[in-house]
Amino acid sequence: MTDSVMQEALPVPAIERRDDIGRLVAVTWHGAGARAGENAGSARWLVAVDGSDCSLRAVAMVAGLAALERTEVDLVHVRPWLNKEAAETELPQRGWAATATARQLVESASVRWRLHVVMGEAAPEIEAMADALGSRGIATGSHGVSAVDSMLLGSVAYKIVHIVKKTSILLVR
């Protein structure tokens, strides 16, 4: 797929956030029927999506829970830091592409979603997003490696478990 075709297929984000130098640092899309504000009476799950099989299992599990509870789901995808010029196109394009399967899983469960693509270090950004949205909990996939491997490899799931203090965490293997 060429860049021009990808650009045409990319919907316009509902929300864009920029830093103090004007660099695009976050975009949000609302899926069909999703509300811009929080759900009345129930908080949504925030699901960390990186495109891996583990994260997709977390998406599927939360989509099932959300369908039972008749609530919506927030998906979050964190990209590494980009310079100002690259952020304008790469942040939305890569985030949208990396979450295609996750969005399809949620839609196939007839659950409404919002997608947040942010730039930064994954675990702190996920924690900040959960706090900002008042999320019911954070769901993330775990590759199931040992604690030693997690510390050496820098597992995002491991970091989330150790830095998040105010929100429940659902680890899915």
pTM of the model: 0.86
Structural domain boundaries, residue 144: 3-172
What pLDDT, on the 0 to 100 scale, is given for residue 158?
Answer: 82
Tell me the pLDDT tens digit for each residue of 45-89.
Answer: 999 999 899 999 999 999 999 999 999 999 999 999 999 999 999
CB 130 within 8 A of CB 168: no
Runs of H (alpha helix) within 15-79: 53-69
Average pLDDT for 16-37: 89
147 compared with 12, residue with greater pLDDT: 12
Residue 40 — very low, low, confident or very high, per pLDDT cuts 50/70/90? very low
Residue 154 — very low, low, confident or very high, per pLDDT cuts 50/70/90? low
Whether the per-residue pLDDT at 143 is higher than 60: the answer is: yes
Whether the per-residue pLDDT at 155 is higher than 60: the answer is: yes
Q: How many CB atoms lie within 10 A of CB 148?
A: 8
What pLDDT, on the 0 to 100 scale, is given for residue 138?
Answer: 93
Number of domains in the chain: 1
How far apart are alpha carbons 20 and 51 in whole angstroms? 30
Whether the per-residue pLDDT at 43 is higher than 90: the answer is: no
Whether the per-residue pLDDT at 146 is higher than 70: the answer is: no
Whether the per-residue pLDDT at 10 is higher than 90: the answer is: yes
Whether the per-residue pLDDT at 152 is higher than 50: the answer is: no
Average pLDDT for 91-98: 96
Q: What is the CATH number of the domain that holds 17?
A: 3.40.50.620
- Number of separate helices (H) and strands (E) present in the chain: 7, 7
Q: How many CB atoms lie within 10 A of CB 67?
A: 15
